[in-house]
Amino acid sequence: FGLPLHRLRSQTVSTRYLSVEDGAFVASARQWAAFTLHLADGHSSQGDFPPREGYVRYGSLVQLVCTLTGITLPPMIIRKVAKQCALLDVDEPISQLHKCAFQFPGSPPGGGGTYLCLATEKVVQFQASPCPKEANRALLNDSSCWTIIGTESVEFSFSTSLACTLEPVTPVPLISTLELSGGGDVATLELHGENFHAGLKVWFGDVEAETMYRSPRSLVCVVPDVAAFCSDWRWLRAPITIPVSLVRSDGLFYPSAFSFTYTPEYSARPGHTGVPEPATDADALLESIHQEFTRTNFHLFIQT
**pLDDT recorded at residue 122:** 86
The CATH number given to 2-150 is: 2.80.10.50
Mean pLDDT of 231-255: 84
Helix/strand/coil (H/E/C) assignment for every residue in 74-112: CCEEEEEEECCEEECCCCCECCCCCEEEEEECCCCCCCC
List where CATH 2.60.40.10 sits in the chain: 174-302
Q: Between 111 and 245, whose confidence is greater?
A: 245
Q: Is the dihedral of CA 21, 24, 30, 31 positive or negative?
A: positive
Q: How many CB atoms are located within 10 Å of the residue 108 CB?
A: 7
* Model confidence pLDDT, tens digit, residues 47-93: 555 556 678 899 999 998 888 888 888 999 999 999 889 999 999 99
Mean pLDDT of 103-130: 85
Taking the C-alpha atoms of residue 208 and residue 221, their distance in angstroms, rounded to an integer, is 10
**What's the pLDDT score for residue 98?**
86
CATH 2.80.10.50 segments of the chain: 2-150
Span of 73-82, 233-242, 262-271, 277-286 with lowest mean pLDDT: 277-286
Query: Is the model more confident about 236 or about 178?
Result: 178
Under CATH, which number does the domain 174-302 receive? 2.60.40.10
Omega before 171 within 30 of 0, i.e. cis: yes
Indicate the range of 16-25, 73-82, 101-110, 260-269 predicted with least confidence: 260-269
- Please report the pLDDT score of residue 279 as a whole number: 44
Q: What is the mean pLDDT of the chain?
A: 79
